[in-house]
Every structure is written in C-alpha cells, then in structure tokens.
Amino acid sequence: MPAAAPEPLPTRIAAGLARLSVALRAGQWRLAEAHGLTATQAQILGLLAARAAEPARLRPGEVAEQLGITRATASDALSALARKGLVAKRPDPRDGRALGLALTAEGAEAARAAGDAPALLAEAAAALSPADQAALLRLVVKMIRGLQLRGAIAPARVCVTCRYFRPHLYDDPAAPHRCDLVGAPFGDAALRVDCADHAAAPPELAGQTWRRFDAGGAPHGSATPRLAAEGGTSRPRPSAARARSDHDP
Amino acid sequence: MPAAAPEPLPTRIAAGLARLSVALRAGQWRLAEAHGLTATQAQILGLLAARAAEPARLRPGEVAEQLGITRATASDALSALARKGLVAKRPDPRDGRALGLALTAEGAEAARAAGDAPALLAEAAAALSPADQAALLRLVVKMIRGLQLRGAIAPARVCVTCRYFRPHLYDDPAAPHRCDLVGAPFGDAALRVDCADHAAAPPELAGQTWRRFDAGGAPHGSATPRLAAEGGTSRPRPSAARARSDHDP
DNA sequence: CGATTATACGTAGGACTCCTAATCACTCAA
DNA sequence: TTGAGTGATTAGGAGTCCTACGTATAATCG
C-alpha cells in the first residue's frame, strides 16, 4: 500500500480488470495468429462454435453486438472468414435481408484450435481455491449485469436476468439457488454466463430476482441485508434446511 | 442454470471476464474516438499519466510490454501521439539508445479527458456493495498474479509481489495486512494494483507472502488452511487483537 | 394497396493496429 | 576494440475499426 492518496476502490478494481483484459487480448492474438487468423476472426469463430448447437443461426448484426464492434467491422471479418472457407453465409429463410451464419467443417476445426482464447484466463482461474472461484464468478456476473444495465454491453445470457432463476430459494449454502427450467438447486459455482436456455425476465421479476441475488441470502425481512458477510458459497446461515418454503409472500 | 453439461467453472469465469473485456475495449474506442484518438493511443496516454509523478521516464519498450503489444506497434502509436503534439520524446540521458517519454501539457489534458477508459468498469464496480468490491479487488489481484506467474502479463506493481507487503499480520478483519513502507495496517479494500512504491520481493519472500495472502488468514499452523470459508474483508477470526506479534517464526 | 419508415447487410475510404523481419544506433563485457 | 546484446525504428502487408453511404427487404400506416 502506498505513500498516500490511493485511487478509489472502484477505480483500482477497473484498473485491475483492465490488466486482465490486456492479457486476454494478447492471448487472443497469439493463439489466433498461430492459426493464420486475427484476434477478431478467432473471436467470431469462438462465438459461432459456442452457438453451434442452437437452431437459430447467428447473424452478422448479432456478432457485431456481442463483440462490441460495428456492423461494418463484423462484415469485414466475416468476409475474410468466408474467403478462408471457415464460415458459410446463407440467406435467412425468415428474413430476406438477413444472413444465417454457420461454421464449415474446417471452421469448426479452426474454432476448436483457435477459438478458445480465454483459456489462459481459465488456467489462472483454475489455480484459485474452489471457494474463490465461486466468489469470482458471482462477482463477475454482478459486473456483467451492471454493465448491461448501463448499456455498455450486449445482453448476456446470465442467470441473474433469466426468468427461470430463483436465487436464494433454499437454505443450503452450497446450493441456495434454483433453476425452474431444470428444476434443480445449485450454487454460485454453477451460475451460467451464456446459457442456451436463457429467457429474459420481465422487468419486475428481473428487479426482484436481482435484489434477492445481490443481497446474498440475507435474512429476508432484514433492514440491513448485507454489508459485512459477503463471501463464497459457504456462508453460514442462521438456521437449517427449511427449503422450498420461504418465498417472498 | 442449464439443461446439462455446463462448462467447467474456470472456463465460465474466463468467459465472463472476456465479456467485461469486450465492454472495456468498446468503451476505450468510444471515449478515445471522441477525442480524435484511437484506443491504443488513449491507453498509452493513460499509462503515461499514471506514471507522470514518477522520476523515471517510461520508455517505448515498457509501454509495449505494459499494453501487451509489440514494440513496433508501440512505436507506431507513439509516433502518432508525437505528431499530434501530445507526447514528447527525448533521449534518455542514461542510455543513448533509449527514449524517455513524457506528456506535453496538451497530452496531460487529453489523458485526463480520454485516458480513463476503465471508468465504465469503475462505475459498474461502484454499484457493488463495499464488501463485494473488496472481495472483487482481492480476487482480481490473485488473477493478476496468476497470469504474471504464467508469463501472460507484464509484472504488475501489486502488493502481493511487493517486498513491503505483510499479509494477514494482524487479527483485525478490517485491516489485517501491513505495508512496511508506510508502516500502516490496511485491508483488502486498500490493495494497490499499480503502486508507485512497489519493489519486487525476492523469490522466497514472494512465495511466503503469497501463501499467507492466498490462505486468507487461516490459523497459522492449520493443516487445512482454507477451502470453505473464503470471503470478503470481514471473515470472523478466532481471537481478538494480538497484533504485531504473530510473524512466522 | 402503395408510400414511408425502419432494419439488415454491404462497400468505400482512411487512419491505425498489429504482426514479422530487417536496419540503425548505442552499451557493455571480454 | 570487437562482438554480442539491447532499444528503437522502419518497411510491408493483412486486418481492425471507424464514419458515411448504398441497396434490398420488411413492417407500418394512411
């Protein structure tokens, strides 16, 4: 710690995240280039691969939005990928203006090889203790929602904005949440960041879900929900399994 | 949560961080462009501004390293900035090959306006609870160290690698650490990410410091230091203020 | 129904990024 | 003093990324 006047906490957090971002971007370049691609092209490949299992084809506009680039840039990169035979463009049957994007066989191969640039970050994350990992995921999800709220990011398919998500439904500290779609309880460590089954919650439900999640399972009527005891998956709770019976009235 | 087979936790963490990175980069572009700059140029300006108070001038090679780009790219960007009159290059008196970089008055102004691109992230971070902020900073610092260890990132001036850092010296949960340089105790919330007074610790000390920090203040002789109770700044501790007397033997 | 408005994609032009590889220029140790 | 190493720059080329504009299709409304 320093000789004085450290910047405010949020600023230091942002600076730290910026550093992670630098590592990520450098890793993207290194990996992509080894396969004759560029960082953006590899990112697109990775995005398409992640969505490959879903019926609805991704469109250029969505790619741009997800990657935070303009449509023009996305169009450029997609043309390059098409030229290299890694991506197939075909007219969307539903909309004559739109295009459906799909990986070719070669593209799928390239995506496997070069599309997983965040692997370096994942490696570093894997070195954290399980509890730290869960805590980090939880906090990252909160940040994502915050950015989304501010319009700084395209809507992500995260649990906290999903209609099926019931945070802190149960008292089991290891699995307090519930997904109504699969009907199973789970903990912070299982939160999704890009869930294929995500369905946006209507505004009111979204607000309610968020408040419950953010409060972190504090006693429901409490006036001072949190402030001190924020932590990993295993925050002790006052009483034991009363599960399934403590909805909001 | 999902229909099945979610990716492993570290992978999801990385994906989440990648999303934050997208937001950051988009924000960098938006802000920089509004001032007639590019993202990289603005980043360089921000870096120079952050180091402005220090006696030793930054050099092009260091800029490249900090930003995770090649020297050639850094050189390009610096030429552009010099052309715009925002950065002054002058020969380094210590080394005839090297250059010392400094912001001009205009450059300092531009840095203030466009150099703080992570502001968006900071804003989102500020919306977290204080405890969450401290926890996030702690985890980000851990990630930075992990990346640094893997050579994925230039050495950052973070407390955990500093010779003056004494983690978990005290039992006060709000301020367990100590900086030997300023001689004051502090908590996770005050951890630095780019401390001007940072001095790299020698390997052995570094390892020891890290283990103490990572263990998170678990009882010193414990066989199972952590695993469960990882958390914010305020994990309860067995006994009370015994400060200043519990070094490793 | 036909005109307007909005949407989806593309292209053009330009500054810049980002890489590898090669070239100067200087430092330092032998 | 010579040769290896280091710091910066340049050359060349593909690509990013932007702001406009085009062009085609879709949705909407009088």
- Looking up residue B43, the CATH number of its domain turns out to be 1.10.10.10
Residue at B246 is within a domain: no
Do B32 and B73 fall into the same domain?
Answer: yes
User: A142 and A164, same structural domain?
Assistant: yes
| For residue A3, pLDDT beyond 70 | no
Q: Nearest C-alpha of chain B: how many angstroms from A113?
A: 16
Q: Which residues of B touch A13 (CB under 8 A)?
A: 121-122, 125, 133, 136-137, 140
Note whether A59 and A15 are same-domain residues.
yes
User: In strand C, which positions have an atom below 7 A from any protein CB?
Assistant: 7-13, 15-21, 25-28
Same domain for B50 and B144: no
Task: Tell me what percent of the residues of chain A surpass a pLDDT of 90.
Answer: 35
The answer to whether residue B248 is domain-embedded is no
Q: How far apart are CA B96 and CA B98, in angstroms?
A: 6
CA distances from B206 to A86, B137, B201, B210, B233 (A): 46, 19, 5, 6, 22
Taking only Cα atoms into account, the Rg of chain B, rounded to an integer number of angstroms, comes to 21
Q: What is the DSSP string of B85-141?
A: TSEEEEEETTEEEEEEEEE-HHHHHHHHHHS-TTHHHHHHHHTS-HHHHHHHHHHHH
User: B143 vs A136: CB contact, 8 Å cut-off?
Assistant: yes
| B173 DSSP 8-state letter | T
Size of interface A-B (CB pairs under 8 A): 305
At A191, which amino acid appears? L
Q: Are residues B79 and B141 in the same domain?
A: no
* Closest in B13, B186, B192 to A136, CB measured: B13
Q: Is residue A90 part of a domain?
A: yes
Could you tell me if residue B75 is inside a domain? yes
Determine, yes or no, domain membership for A177.
yes
Sign of CA dihedral A83, A86, A91, A94: negative
Distances (CA, A) of B247 to B171, B208, B226, B233, B243: 12, 11, 19, 20, 10
Per-residue CA distances from B41 to A207, B33, B60, B86, B115 (Å): 39, 10, 13, 10, 9
Q: Which of B87, B117, B147 is the last residue of a domain?
A: B117
Q: What pLDDT sits at residue A219?
A: 55
With CA of A25 and C1' of each nucleotide, the nearest comes out as C18
User: Could you say which nucleotides of strand D lie within 7 A of any protein CB atom?
Assistant: 5-12, 14-20, 24-27
In this structure, is residue A245 part of a structural domain?
no
Question: What mean pLDDT is predicted for residues A81-94?
Answer: 85
One domain, residues A75 and A31: yes
What residues pair up with B162 in beta bridges, in sequence order? Answer: B200
d(CA A87, CA A43): 13
Q: Are residues A110 and A54 in the same domain?
A: yes
Predicted pLDDT at A20: 93
pLDDT in tens, A47-83: 999 888 888 888 888 899 899 888 888 998 898 888 8
- Residue B159: name the closest of A121, A230, A6 by CA: A6
What is the SS3 string spanning chain A? Answer: CCCCCCCCHHHHHHHHHHHHHHHHHHHHHHHHHCCCCCHHHHHHHHHHHHCCCCCCCECHHHHHHHHCCCHHHHHHHHHHHHHCCCEEEEEECCEEEEEEEEECHHHHHHHHHHCCCCHHHHHHHHCCCHHHHHHHHHHHHHHHHHHHHCCCCCCCCCHHHECCEECCCCCCCCCCEEECCCCEEECHHHCCCCCCCCCECCHHHHHHHHHHHHHCCCCCCCCCCCCCCCECCCCCCCCCCCCCCCCCC
DSSP B52: T
Residue B74 lies in a domain: yes
Give yes or no: residues A108 and A139 share one domain: no
DSSP structural state of residue B23: H
Quick check: A1 and B140 CB within 8 A? Answer: no
pLDDT for the residue numbered B218:
60
CA–CA distance, A211 with A217 (Å, rounded to integer): 10
In this structure, are A21 and A47 located in the same domain?
yes
| Co-location of A91 and A149 in the same domain | no
What is the residue range of A161's domain? 128-215
Pairwise CA distance, residues A145 & A147, whole Å? 5
Say which residues have a Cβ less than 8 Å from residue A206's Cβ, sequence separation at least 6.
A161, A200
Q: Are A28 and A66 within one domain?
A: yes
- Both tokens assigned to A124: 């570093």
CA quadruple B108, B110, B116, B119: dihedral positive or negative? positive
**Tokens found for residue B182:** 């300023």
Separation in Å: D9 C1' and B28 CA: 27
Tokens 């990410």, located at residue: B193
Nearest neighbour of A193 by CB, restricted to B12, B21, B189: B12
Whether chain A has a CB inside 8 Å of the CB on B52: the answer is no
Please give the distance of CA B132 from its chain centroid, rounded to a whole number. Answer: 17
The answer on A37 and A108 residing in a single domain is yes
Confidence (pLDDT) at B219: 55
pLDDT digits (tens, 9 = 90+) for A155-213: 899 999 999 999 999 988 889 999 999 999 999 999 999 998 999 899 899 999 999 99
| List of residues 6+ apart from A203 with CB closer than 8 A | none
Calculate what percentage of chain A has a pLDDT beyond 70. Answer: 85
Once rounded to an integer, what is the mean pLDDT over residues A131-154? 93
Residue type, A134: A
pLDDT tens digits for B80-106? 899 888 999 888 877 777 888 989 888
Per-residue confidence (pLDDT) for residue B139, from 0 to 100:
96
Residue A129 has pLDDT above 50, yes or no: yes
* C1’ C9 / CA A44, Å: 17
Indicate if CB(A24) is under 7 A from strand D.
no
- The reply to whether B81 falls in a domain is yes
For residue B248, what is the DSSP state?
Answer: -
Q: How many structural domains compose chain B?
A: 2
Q: pLDDT in tens for each of the 249 residues of chain B? A: 444 567 899 999 999 999 999 999 888 888 888 888 888 889 999 999 988 888 888 888 888 889 988 888 889 989 989 988 899 988 887 777 788 898 988 888 888 887 777 888 999 999 999 999 999 999 999 999 999 988 888 889 999 999 999 999 888 888 999 999 999 899 999 999 999 899 989 988 999 999 999 987 665 444 444 333 333 333 333 333 333 333 333
Residue in B13, B118, B196 nearest the CB of A18: B118
Short-list B57, B243, B21, CA closest to A156: B21
- A174–B contact, CB cutoff 8 A: no
Residue A94: is its pLDDT beyond 80?
no
Q: What is the pLDDT of residue A137?
A: 97
| Chain A CB contacts of B112 below 8 Å | none
CA–C1' B97–D7 (A)? 5
